[in-house]
Amino acid sequence: MTLKSQARVPDLRERRRQETRLEISKAALELFELQGFAATTVEEIARAAGVSSSTFFRCFATKEESVCGPDRELETEIVEWLESIPQEDINLPGIEAFYERSLQRLMTSSEDTRDRILRTRRLIASDNHLRAAAFAADALAMCRITMSVAERLRGLRSESFARLLVESAGVASRIAFDTWVRRIERGEDADLVEIYRTTRTDLREVVT
């Protein structure tokens, strides 16, 4: 398997957009924690982030998306990988490696980023609406990835095979996140990447 050795460097305009998205996400998370998701408006989030409501909607389609957005970098890496290898080399370990790489990025990021991720996962676990939104965002992301995998495997494997590949890797990632949060809540040491590896092992035991 060939992983992308060097990430694309975003230009100035894209970096500014990423910074704006981050500020909005931080403001949304703080307000959701303080006064609840349902009681928080887009206008309040925009004001707290120092932007206009129109800027908010240029960055996010909904207030749910401001904290439950997909990992676009993960999707891009998987698509680039699919385009770079033979059909017969597209398999579950290959796709799982990208999910693991995504989790490694999160865990080796700044302490502020890790703290924000943990707070977000706690919030999602405690709010039924946000939990449903997170599931929906994950499902849409997996649909996009599945379409890419199915297209690349056309003539070799069925669409159901492609879906099983993507959803198996994705569900292991979601379970690992939930386990990580619960362990931290109990005051235990928790390595998200190692938890994901263990969850994959458990998945293989279940299906065999």
The tokens 């949304």 sit on which residue? 28
- Predicted confidence at residue 10, as pLDDT, reads 65
Residue 162 CB partners (closer than 8 Å, separation 6+): 146, 149, 150, 153
d(CA 65, CA 69): 5
- Predicted confidence at residue 1, as pLDDT, reads 44
182, amino acid identity: R
Residues 101-148 have pLDDT tens digits of 999 998 898 888 889 988 998 898 889 999 999 889 888 989 999 999
- Predicted confidence at residue 176, as pLDDT, reads 94
Query: Which tokens hold the place of 1?
Result: 């398997």
128-152 and 111-126 helices, crossing angle to 10°: 110
d(CA 8, CA 140): 24
- Predicted confidence at residue 187, as pLDDT, reads 92
When the pLDDT of each residue in the chain is averaged and rounded to a whole number, the result is 90
43, amino acid identity: E
Mean pLDDT, rounded, for 70-96: 91
CATH architecture of 69-207: Orthogonal Bundle (1.10)
Query: Which tokens hold the place of 164?
Result: 């099983």
- Predicted confidence at residue 67, as pLDDT, reads 93
Residues 36-57 have pLDDT tens digits of 999 999 999 999 999 999 999 9
The pTM of the full predicted model, rounded to 2 decimals, is 0.80
CATH architecture of 9-67: Orthogonal Bundle (1.10)
Domain locations along the chain: 9-67, 69-207
SS3 92: helix
Q: Is the pLDDT of residue 164 over 50?
A: yes
Mean pLDDT, rounded, for 158-176: 93
